[in-house]
Amino acid sequence: MKTRSGGTALRIAAPMRALLQRFSFLLMVLAAIGLMMMTRVDPVFIDAARARVTDAFAPILGFIARPAGAVASVLESGRQLTALYAENQRLREDNERLRQWQQTALRLEAENNSLRGLLAYKPDPAASYITARVIADPGGAFVRTLVVMAGQRDGVRRGQAAMAGQGVIGRVVQVGEWSSRILLVTDLNARIPVVLETTRQRAMLSGDNSDQPRLMYIPRGVEPTVGERVFTSGHGGLFPAGLPVGIVAATHDGETRVTPIVDLSRIEYVQLVDFGIPGGLAAEAAQPGAMQ
């Protein structure tokens, strides 16, 4: 009896399996359509069911993800340790190099002090700075000046150097109680004694109300190189030596043009510097345009 009943079950199951295999795709399509219709008809019910299923499987998913998270954390810790070790090695090497440079600097400082003592060298006086905001740019075709919010009450004096971005942009030519006027290096009245970086040839930087002042009084046979930097020479008593002024931009038919080291059209703040040069004010008063 058991064998007969088992054979009967197999005979019934075989056609059912074949029927399911034949219409499986159709059944899945119908099931998908049914789910879509249920979503349209009662989205609240579907959302609630989805939430319940998610809640039911959340602990299982969390348990499965926990080992993966632990492995990722261990791998990340390993990468961080490797990076820290490499950075530590690099910092040790940098520290060793800095120690060597420190010893070299100390040795050179001692040697420099010794030589200065032998030469009875008198160091330049310490410079004092006043930072001021530009409040007006009354520039035009015939004048290139700036007005800054600092005056006599702030310690500004006529003849002080005006700098921006570590470069010379001009000098103070007029001082009021609350404001001051700066004559830019591009102004027609601006004259600055300079020296070329490569040849150490002295010259005069002369403004002509263009964006690129000229280099004047260059001896014959001396040809400035395009890209060569121009520094103050220290002559004239207005500026100390070595302040950057500009870069040689072009040389044509014996005329050399210099681009200011600072973009004069984008200045917002300036430093008015008193280098403590003896006789600086007297020299400034003798300059053309000093009282403008």
82 occurs within a structural domain: no
173 occurs within a structural domain: yes
Domain count, the chain: 1
pTM attached to this predicted model: 0.57
229 occurs within a structural domain: yes
8 occurs within a structural domain: no
182 occurs within a structural domain: yes
- Tell me the pLDDT of the chain (292 aa) as tens digits: 444 555 565 566 666 666 667 777 777 777 777 767 765 655 666 666 666 766 676 667 666 666 666 677 778 888 888 888 888 988 988 888 888 888 788 878 888 887 877 777 666 677 888 999 999 886 666 678 999 999 999 999 999 999 998 799 999 999 999 999 999 999 999 999 999 988 889 999 999 999 999 999 998 888 899 999 999 998 887 888 889 999 999 988 889 999 999 999 889 999 999 887 765 554 554 454 443 3
| Residue span of the structural domain in which 271 resides | 128-285
User: SS3 for the chain, per residue?
Assistant: CHHHHHHHHHHHHHHHHHHHHHCHHHHHHHHHHHHHHHHHHCHHHHHHHHHHHHHHHHHHHHHHHHHHHHHHHHHHHHHHHHHHHHHHHHHHHHHHHHHHHHHHHHHHHHHHHHHHHHHCCCCCCCCEEEEEEEEECCCCCCCCEEEECCCHHHCCCCCCEEEECCEEEEEEEEECCCCEEEEECCCCCCEEEEEECCCCCEEEEECCCCCCCEEECCCCCCCCCCCCEEEECCCCCCCCCCCEEEEEEEEECCEEEEEECCCHHHCCEEEEEECCCCCHHHHHHCCCCCCC
220 occurs within a structural domain: yes
7 occurs within a structural domain: no
119 occurs within a structural domain: no
pLDDT digits (tens, 9 = 90+) for 213-254: 999 999 888 889 999 999 999 888 788 888 999 999 998 888
CATH number for 177: 2.40.10.340
